Amino acid sequence: MDKTHAFAAGIFAAQPFTHLIGAELVAASKGQTEIAVDLRDELRQQHGFAHGGLISYLADNAITFAGGLGLGGDALTSEFKINYVRPARGARLIARATTRSVGRRQAVCTCEIYAIEDGAERLCALAQGTVVAVSG
Amino acid sequence: MDKTHAFAAGIFAAQPFTHLIGAELVAASKGQTEIAVDLRDELRQQHGFAHGGLISYLADNAITFAGGLGLGGDALTSEFKINYVRPARGARLIARATTRSVGRRQAVCTCEIYAIEDGAERLCALAQGTVVAVSG
Amino acid sequence: MDKTHAFAAGIFAAQPFTHLIGAELVAASKGQTEIAVDLRDELRQQHGFAHGGLISYLADNAITFAGGLGLGGDALTSEFKINYVRPARGARLIARATTRSVGRRQAVCTCEIYAIEDGAERLCALAQGTVVAVSG
Amino acid sequence: MDKTHAFAAGIFAAQPFTHLIGAELVAASKGQTEIAVDLRDELRQQHGFAHGGLISYLADNAITFAGGLGLGGDALTSEFKINYVRPARGARLIARATTRSVGRRQAVCTCEIYAIEDGAERLCALAQGTVVAVSG
């Protein structure tokens, strides 16, 4: 784990909601962040798929970390949009956020969320959002 | 609790993720849905505010129920967008979704999320999304 | 026309693209902006409805003015989202943007776009977006 | 020009608003669409940059064509979101939309809009949206 990943892991571990969800910070660099979660029963909706709110948590958090690391300091997500493209089932979900543009005060990130089922990744959602720097 | 609210409450109670979050379906009718949650520690992020992923869960779920009741049958949220306008702190969050347009196959809903602090409601996020009917 | 409306009208008149479209700034205050356009043939798509790009122009510009006036200075729209809820036909379109939240650096606005047909207004699109202050 | 491009070009040419803008359909296939426009003065806003409404037109239309060709029939954009990441100046704008997911009734597309200045492409906006099939 390099310095950037370790810095991000410290913040990630300080999020109580992330502990409740049971998510893991798989990777974190200036350009990319990956957050994953094993899909246990209490994360599902009424039909047995991953709840949309879980998927939106993954998108929100992956975008926050990717954008914050891109901006190089304390940051928060000001907005995002998500399209669910397929019901998410399987053993594990993984969200991969990429910083697409970094300015002085804000970064724009995209995020792909995949469900891993029988070893294969299937795209289940696409997100796009804005992360803004928090003044010191 | 009228028939529409009871129908929605049955689906809501069948969502394991909603139990994990601890959310309540406060109101549900063809035009409006309210979902609330008491803001306990495990729902927070690293600065003590409600986690963005919690707020996006409330928006996602309130939009799904408002749109699904508007469409009159089984439905799912295909996409939404959320703007966080203020850090959410206080004792309780409440999301109020309104169906703004209903077609044959899809409904468009808006949602306001408020934090209740010292008895006063403060707007902390605005969302807008699409709910699509699931064919029987 | 009061001072705020006159200030906005000066900027509006300085937009060449707005002249090409033929839009009018109907109202402008700190909280609300209205932009309208008469629906002539060259603003349509292949089925005779108003082109989505025209409607998104109205949303973009109405949000920019509402948010900029709310912020009280030079500003630009950093992002927005639009849902088209009904094909837009009729004599005239009108976009009404409302500032929903104003911070030090950014405002969040919602916008409703109506088509006026046989004297009645029909909602044809809903938008939501962020306006950021431009440093002097 | 292959059959798919020719089919798309016929619809594109039937859009009066596209003629007013002066846009060109550079490429069109099942997976990708490119729409470009030379940046003449009447497409600008008050500071001399391309107007946001022009960029949103490019995103809207490129997404509509990419999604419609992906769905294989008459289609319309039901919603999209756009982030402006840099003021757009230069000689020409080009929007490239990619179909990311195709279902029976809807396609989800992403779109990148570049400004071409001194021969170099610079990303100026990112969009994401939904295209729905229109029943015959």
Q: Inter-chain contact B101–C81, Cβ cutoff 8 Å?
A: no
**Tokens 């949303």 sit on residue:** C59
In this prediction, residue D14 carries a pLDDT of 97
Band (C1; pLDDT cuts 50, 70, 90): confident
pLDDT for D87 beyond 70: yes
Question: Is residue D42 pLDDT above 80, yes or no?
Answer: yes
Q: What is the pLDDT of residues B32-81, one digit of tens each?
A: 999 999 999 999 999 999 999 999 999 999 999 999 999 998 899 999 99
| Alpha-carbon dihedral angle through residues D112, A125, B63, A76, given to the nearest 10 degrees | -70
D56 to C54: CB separation less than 8 angstroms, yes or no: no
Beta-carbon separation of B52 and A64 below 8 A: yes
3-state secondary structure of D64: helix
Contact status of B101 with chain A (Cβ, < 8 Å): no
Q: Which chain A residue has the Cα nearest residue B57?
A: A53
B13-25 mean pLDDT = 98
Cβ-Cβ contacts under 8 Å between B and C: the total is 41
Contact state of B101 with C126 under an 8 Å Cβ cutoff: yes
pLDDT at A31: 83
pTM of the model: 0.97
Question: Which of the four pLDDT bands, split at 50, 70 and 90, describes residue A133?
Answer: very high
| Local structure of C81: helix, strand or coil | strand
Separation in Å, CA of B17 to nearest CA in chain C = 28
Contacting partners of chain A (3+ CB pairs under 8 A)? B, C, D
Helix A52-71 to helix A3-13 angle (10° resolution) is 140
Q: Could you please report the per-residue DSSP string of chain B? A: --HHHHHHHHHHHT-HHHHHHT-EEEEE-SSEEEEEEE--GGGB-TTSSBPHHHHHHHHHHHHHHHHHHHHTS-EEEEEEEEEE-S---SSEEEEEEEEEEE-SSEEEEEEEEEEEETTEEEEEEEEEEEEEEPP-
- The shortest C-alpha distance from C57 to chain B (Å) reads 19
- What residues of chain C lie within 8 A of the CB of D42, using their CB? 16-17, 19-20
Among chain C residues, CA nearest to A82: C81
Task: Tell me: pLDDT of C66 over 80.
Answer: yes
Residue D81 has its nearest CB partner, among A81, A85, A103, at A81
Per-domain boundaries in chain C: 3-133
Return the percentage of chain A with pLDDT > 70, whole number: 99
Which residue is it, tokens 């046989």? C118
Residues of chain B contacting A54 with CB distance shorter than 8 Å? 17, 57
Q: CB of A68 within 8 A of CB of B62?
A: no
Q: Kindly state the average pLDDT of the residues C121-131.
A: 98
Q: Is C18 on the interface with B (CB under 8 A)?
A: no
Phi and psi angles of residue A70, each rounded to the nearest 5 degrees, phi first: -65, -40
Q: Tell me if chain D has a CB within 8 Å of the CB of B106.
A: yes
* Cα distance between residue D59 and residue D128, in whole Å: 8
pLDDT score, position A69: 96
Give the phi and the psi of residue D92 in degrees, each rounded to 5: -160, 145
Terminal Cα distance for chain B, rounded:
27
The full DSSP string for C89-132 is -SSEEEEEEEEEEE-SSEEEEEEEEEEEETTEEEEEEEEEEEEE
pLDDT (mean) for C31-59: 97
Digit-coded pLDDT (tens) for C95-109:
999 999 999 899 999
Position B15 scores a pLDDT of 97
Partner-chain contact A81 D130, CB within 8 Å? no
Q: Which residues of A touch C108 (CB under 8 A)?
A: 79
pLDDT band at D107, cuts 50/70/90? Answer: very high
Q: Please give the Cα distance from B65 to B29 (Å, whole number).
A: 9
Identity of the residue in A100, A101, A126 whose CB atom sits nearest the CB atom of D100: A126
Cβ–Cβ gap D126/A103 under 8 Å = no
Whether residue B72 contacts residue B122, with contact meaning beta carbons closer than 8 Å, is answered with no
Distances (CA, A) of D77 to A47, B77, C87, C122, D66: 29, 17, 11, 19, 10
pLDDT in tens, A89-121: 999 999 999 999 999 899 999 999 999 999 999
B19 touches chain D (CB under 8 A): no
pLDDT beyond 80 at D65: yes
Contact B21, A52 (CB under 8 A): no
Q: Which helix (H) or strand (E) holds D63?
A: helix D52-71
Residue D49 pLDDT greater than 90, yes or no: yes
pLDDT of residue D74: 86
Alpha-carbon gap, residue B100 to D71, rounded angstroms: 27
pLDDT on residue B1:
81
Reply yes or no on whether the pLDDT at D118 is more than 80: yes
pLDDT at B89: 94
- Mean pLDDT, chain B, rounded, equals 96
Predicted local distance difference test score (pLDDT) of residue C31: 83
The whole-number pLDDT of residue A88 equals 96
B45 close to A (CB below 8 A): yes
Phi then psi for residue D37, to 5 deg, are -150, 140
Closest CA to A128 of D118, D79, D83, C69: D83
Give me the interface pTM, i.e. the ipTM. 0.97
Q: Do B83 and A78 touch (CB under 8 A)?
A: yes
CATH topology of domain D3-133: Thiol Ester Dehydrase; Chain A (3.10.129)
**Bridge-based pairing state of the strands A24-28 and A32-38:** antiparallel
Cα separation, D14 vs B50, whole angstroms: 50
Q: Does residue A81 sit at the C interface (CB-CB below 8 Å)?
A: yes
Q: Nearest chain C Cα to B87, which residue?
A: C103
